[in-house]
Structure 1
Amino acid sequence: MQSRQSSHFATQLYIRTRRKLGGLVMPEPGYVYVLTNPEFPSLLKIGRTTRAPEVRAQELSSHTGVPFPYVVRYSRWFSDHQAAERYVHTVFADKRVRGKEFFRADLDEVIAVIEEYQPHMRERASDRRRFPFWRLVWVAAIVL
């Protein structure tokens, strides 16, 4: 009986909090990576993953249209990998190829931008609103 009540409470807390927060997004940890492929020597793929970048590269390489495997040239872990990737994509927006995650950019320059990224750089009007975890707990307490 006790576990059923606590389960119901947790479910209600989740539902009320989601309604209250609306479009807010919790930061998610993961990697921002840079991949290259010998078939496309002038292009860099700048992406993100919550798994090991090598696993993501292997996954992308398994497509039948890719004759050579992708190689991880650089990766870095971030507590909010979505914001970090968005920042890097914004910096290199003028070098983006066909609106995808591919860029005609210098590898060393891309690495330097990834390394210089700090979480406070993500604050832009165009970003989706983000919430630190402690605020989520605070809002949940108010909702109930």
Structure 2
Amino acid sequence: MSNTLSKYLDILTYVMIGLTAIFVAMFYLGGDIPNQAYDTPVYTDLLINWTKVLFIVSAGLAVVFPIIQLIVNPKGALKGLIGLVGLGLIILISYSLSDGTLLNLPGYTGVDNNPGSLEFADTILYTMYILGIGTVVAIVVTEVIRKLR
């Protein structure tokens, strides 16, 4: 990656972190909407929309940069494909562990208590658990190997 592009990406990262810190501070310190049954922060929608923007940007970059890398370095594409296959297997395992049993939620009349939504939520949670545990294990193994060298 060129030095100029790296500089711009660093600046963009700091700007996004700064905006996130500002939005989180507004969420926690901005007060509550009056006459609500529960405490409802004023800036809830702003923070949710910002997280949607961050998700879309990161998902877009996660798609665009591997395509660029594939074009620049076709031989290195095999490692990327192995990573994608591994991620696909993790998601498949997570989906097989998911459960679509309806929850007993007294008083809840919403539409999100359905097998599809529950299986999707379980799949995402199990995927995050597996990736999180894998990250911790990779950090520990890397440090142990580094100490043994």
User: TM class, shorter-chain normalised?
Assistant: under 0.3
State the structure with bigger RCO (CA 8 A, min sep 6), 1 or 2.
1
Q: Would you tell me which structure has more helix in proportion to its own residues? A: 2
Structure showing greater radius of gyration is 2
